[in-house]
Chains A and B, each alone.
Chain A
């Protein structure tokens, strides 16, 4: 079945460091791809998304590009802040999936000042 694989965490970085969280997917259809963020004690919030190949999603300094050739959607940020500490989930979905989200396992990010 369709699935999402994320790099294992936790990822620990110093403030202003460059961030990459890898995400790859397997899908029989043409899903949209998402990154969600979960801050401590809160629900999930959509961080960014891309709906088709070569699309780039971006928000709050985070970026991810939908790469169909490598089935990847890696999350990047040029300079992380302490406030970025959270759990990040990669996911896929779409109408052909009944709009259900298939999540990766999540990656904990810890940013130290």
Chain B
């Protein structure tokens, strides 16, 4: 299957600092990528849809100024958690859509464990 690489796999940062998470599609181009947040023992919550060359679309209740998304190329989307606080600690997962003909499939990164201290 296709490969999506997410980096870093874990990060610890101090309150008030910003953290950037990268999501790369290694062997296909992805016009659309998604960012999810997963709380312990809970499902994935969609945060935003990242579209190459345009502004991200945020889900209701997600602060766009707090979670900055940039999709500057067809293989890279970044999520920056700005002025992080302990309540932002979570597992963040990206996925990239691969479209081949009529078939569309989502491939997921391995996730980033963010801990804010």
Contact = CB atoms under 8 A, between A and B. Distances in A.
B67 interface: no
B95 interface: yes
- The contact size tier of chain B is 20 to 34
Using C-beta atoms within 8 Å of the partner chain, give the interface range for chain A. 10 to 19
Contact of B46 (A43, A46, A101, A104): A101
Contacts of A43: 4, 6, 93, 108-111
Interface string B18-37: 00000000000000101000
Chain B interface SS verdict (over half): strand
B110 A106 contact: no
Given A43-B108, A43-B109, A43-B111, A100 B46 contact: yes
User: What 9 A-B pairs have minimum CB-CB distances, sorted nearest first?
Assistant: A43-B108, A43-B110, A44-B108, A105-B43, A103-B43, A103-B44, A43-B111, A43-B109, A106-B43
Interface of A: 36, 41-46, 89, 93, 95, 98-106
